[in-house]
Structure 1
């Protein structure tokens, strides 16, 4: 009889530990899964703000010259408020028209540099090359440089900021 009680006690303990393991495993999985799902859904939930940012006066820029301009990021995370600056390549096409390109390569997002002598944008990471109109000249970039909208507003040159362009390995 004592052996039967011990078996029942052992069976009860084993059952309890099995159920406890399942519960603790489920709770642990939930703790890990909730932030992962939140991170995956964040781009769908969080609307990206587009804001006009002044980058200088119309008289500050020379016709035909491409320059690097910096401005506040359109949608910085709360923790990044003090480092929320980004940049764009801006060219004054004529007295009242400008062209602005994202500073990031369309391949993997590395910052491109402007080579004035050859009139090309060069990406140092994988050898991507863009013509001065932003179209791909050679290398791995799948698409042209992203363009920003530009306007003149009361003598100020303004760029319509947006979140950094998402880069992909394939044109999609």
Structure 2
């Protein structure tokens, strides 16, 4: 029996149930860790790119709302009172307070400044009240004229003739320390002054008289023709 036990020809008995129950530990390869690292890196890069793209978009959408309160109380200095002689109207440029540095010359806005006398001023928007074309001031005729559609305004900003149905728009202004300031953060409003003169296109109607042909004497008809 000892010889049978030592016989190498007989295969050893293997318990398949015990071997199947024992899990085989698979070593973690370098490919899996590299894949996880690249995934996390791609998420981080996408987040950075999204943040960079979102900043200008949010600034564009929220910028006007954030600047509204500050711009409404923003007064711009147009210059000392000595730059505006009494009885004259002059063109002045100012910088729009709600523009940015990269807007360039598009942020410069012209306006017409009229000094009536003393500290009595009017500051008009340059745009015509019809379709927004820039109006020009003619000192000889004392009229603002629109070159686009022939609109005309009196020197006080009220409508004179043409397509516009209202007068020029006027900025709020004030005088501080000998300088003229305008509130450029707000939209200009309709000129408060009204001209007492009738519009240029208004024609006084005469009372119409109807005269029958048989009521005119021949002698009166000759007189009318000769006159």
Name the TM-score class by shorter chain: 0.5 to 0.7
Partner residue of 1:66?
Answer: 89
How large is the RMSD of aligned CA atoms in angstroms? Answer: 2.8
> Unaligned regions of 5+ residues in structure 2, if any?
1-56, 190-227
Alignment map for 1:80-95 (pairs within 5 Å): 80-81=103-104, 83-95=106-118
In the alignment, is residue 122 of structure 1 matched against residue 145 of structure 2?
Answer: yes
Partner residue of 2:79?
Answer: 56
> Unaligned regions of 5+ residues in structure 1, if any?
1-34, 167-172
Number of residue pairs matched?
129
In the alignment, is residue 137 of structure 1 matched against residue 160 of structure 2?
Answer: yes
More strand by share: 1
Residues 159 and 107 of structure 1, relative CA distance in 2, 3 Å threshold: same
The CA deviation at 1:45 is: 9.1
The CA deviation at 1:113 is: 0.4
Cα deviations by residue, 1:95-115 (Å, 9 ceiling, x for unpaired): 212111000001111100000
The CA deviation at 1:165 is: 5.9
TM-score (norm 2): 0.50
Partner residue of 1:75?
Answer: 98
TM-score (norm 1): 0.65
Distance (whole Å) between structure 1 residues aligned to residue 99 and residue 135 of structure 2: 21
Structure with greater Cα Rg: 2
Greater relative CO, 1 or 2 (CA 8 Å, sep 6+)? 1
Residues 153 and 108 of structure 1, relative CA distance in 2, 3 Å threshold: same
Distance (whole Å) between structure 2 residues aligned to residue 52 and residue 46 of structure 1: 14
Partner residue of 1:159?
Answer: 182
